A and B are shown apart, each in its own frame.
Chain A
Amino acid sequence: DVKVTQSSRYLVKRTGEKVFLECVQDMDHENMFWYRQDPGLGLRLIYFSYDVKMKEKGDIPEGYSVSREKKERFSLILESASTNQTSMYLCASSLGGAFNPFGRSAEAFFGQGTRLTVV
């Protein structure tokens, strides 16, 4: 089974801190995603990556950056945490590329989520 592991379930950080959220997947998936989830807003895509060192902005990239140095690991970085970044962060991965019979993306596998509180 695919496993997507996020480094923390709960995290409390101070305003202005640099925050790293780590995500690791064990199924050699090409695609990896970071979403944030807020009540009434659903899941919003922050960044995604379709290959090592490749990244694309999602719908709400402001205040975030990402790093993908290895295929299995996708890190989300809050350069200077602010209270409006308090949220649930979800990492996901999916099979992409030529091996995917459904086209370039298929079902996504999610981590358990990181609930980040910025105080």
Chain B
Amino acid sequence: SQQGEEDPQALSIQEGENATMNCSYKTSINNLQWYRQNSGRGLVHLILIRSNEREKHSGRLRVTLDTSKKSSSLLITASRAADTASYFCATDFGNNRLAFGKGNQVVVIP
């Protein structure tokens, strides 16, 4: 199956710092999405970027998409302790399903 793959797998930062995660995929996509999962809970949608978009912002989140490199990055600026979670990228290949990566654990130290 085609899946996004996040990098790095785990990240530990101080509160106030920026956190950057990357995601790579293998085939053409309709859109790419980022989700957050707090421990033991379901996933929550953060942001969607379409294949014809290069950058998108939502609050403290910034997502970029480079379709030539088949990669995306998620930047969380001015991180807070509440940002501690796992972050997943998901790719939509247009076949009615989302393929998720393995996740990226972020710990923000107060």
Contact = CB atoms under 8 A, between A and B. Distances in A.
Interface of A: 4, 31, 33, 35, 40-43, 45, 48, 50, 56, 58-59, 90, 92, 94, 96, 102-113, 115
Interface string B30-61: 11010100001111110010100000000000
A81 to B, nearest CB: 21
Given A110-B43, A112-B42, A42 B102 contact: yes
Interface residues of B, number: 27
Nearest to A102: B31
A104 B95 contact: yes
B3 interface: yes
Given A103-B30, A107-B48, A111-B42, A43 B97 contact: no
Nearest to B46: A107
Contacts of A42: 3, 88, 100-103
